[in-house]
């Protein structure tokens, strides 16, 4: 319905329709990294990709990421639909890539779900849907990763990292910084995700230590 007003929406839907209905994962492991901005995802995902000689993918995928700013300015339901569609488009890329090498992903479904839940629910973390609610379940029709790692750092450390970057903040990042309740809702939503659940990793230590911890978890949970 919004395609007449937002031409980019039609292009996203066209790409979505070209994706096979059932995505099958290849023989190589698929590892997702989740977390708020400035938790070290970019650094860790690149390091793990280099270590495993893998393929690095990001959500939303490059074929639609150029329209991200367009949809970020839209009302929440349209914005979330864009990110949800991006996950299914990404799934077709994961299916192909995982036949050739280990696949490392910078954000996937859990991000879309966590931010959607945190946006829809006002108030404190205890106002979120209960822990075993179906909103925390992985979609049955979406290709599932072998492992999801949630990178976390102390809130003050995260803000300092963002300030050191000196980059322009996204709307969501500005809200995370200004609204500690929103940040708590996002983090608690991540922690309630199931099938697969997020394995939490403290990303405060040095890059080398974080990479070591991450590689240990990957070796424990994935057939390499």
Mean pLDDT by 10 residues, the chain (224 residues): 81 92 91 88 95 97 94 90 96 97 97 92 85 94 97 75 61 63 90 96 92 97 84
For the chain, how many residues are written? 224
Question: What secondary structure, in 3-state letters, does 7-69 show?
Answer: HHHHHHHHHHHCCCCCCCCCCCCEEEEECCCCCCHHHHHHHHHHHHCCEEEECCCHHHHCCHH
C-beta atoms surrounding 128 within 10 Å: 20
Largest CA distance in the chain: 50
Q: Cα(215)–Cα(152) distance, rounded to whole angstroms?
A: 16
pLDDT at 38: 74
CB contact at 8 A, 69 and 171: no
| Cα angle for residues 71, 139, 84 (degrees, 5° grid) | 5
Nearest to 138 by CA among 202, 87, 83, 64: 87
Q: Cα(79)–Cα(66) distance, rounded to whole angstroms?
A: 14
Architecture in CATH for domain 7-221:
3-Layer(aba) Sandwich (3.40)
């Amino acid at each position: 319905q919004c395609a007449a007003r937002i031409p980019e929406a039609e292009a996203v839907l066209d790409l979505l329709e070209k994706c096979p209905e059932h995505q099958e994962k290849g023989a190589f492991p698929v590892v997702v990294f989740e977390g708020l901005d400035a938790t070290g995802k970019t650094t860790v995902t690149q390091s793990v990709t280099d270590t495993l000689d893998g393929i690095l993918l990001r959500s939303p995928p490059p074929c639609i990421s150029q329209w991200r700013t367009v949809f970020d300015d839209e009302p929440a339901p349209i914005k979330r639909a864009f990110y949800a569609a991006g996950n299914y488009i990404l799934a077709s890329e994961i299916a192909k890539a995982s036949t050739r090498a280990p696949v490392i992903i910078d954000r996937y479904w859990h991000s879309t779900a966590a931010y959607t839940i945190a946006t829809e629910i006002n108030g404190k973390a205890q106002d979120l849907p209960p822990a075993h609610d179906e909103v925390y379940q992985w979609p049955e029709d979406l290709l599932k990763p072998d492992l999801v790692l949630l990178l976390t750092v102390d809130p003050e450390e995260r803000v300092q990292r963002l300030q050191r970057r000196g980059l322009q903040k996204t709307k969501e990042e500005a809200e995370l910084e200004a609204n500690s309740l929103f940040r708590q809702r996002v983090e608690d939503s991540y922690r309630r995700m199931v099938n697969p659940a997020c394995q939490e990793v403290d990303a405060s230590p040095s890059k080398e230590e974080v990479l070591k911890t991450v590689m240990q978890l990957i070796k424990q949970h994935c057939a390499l």
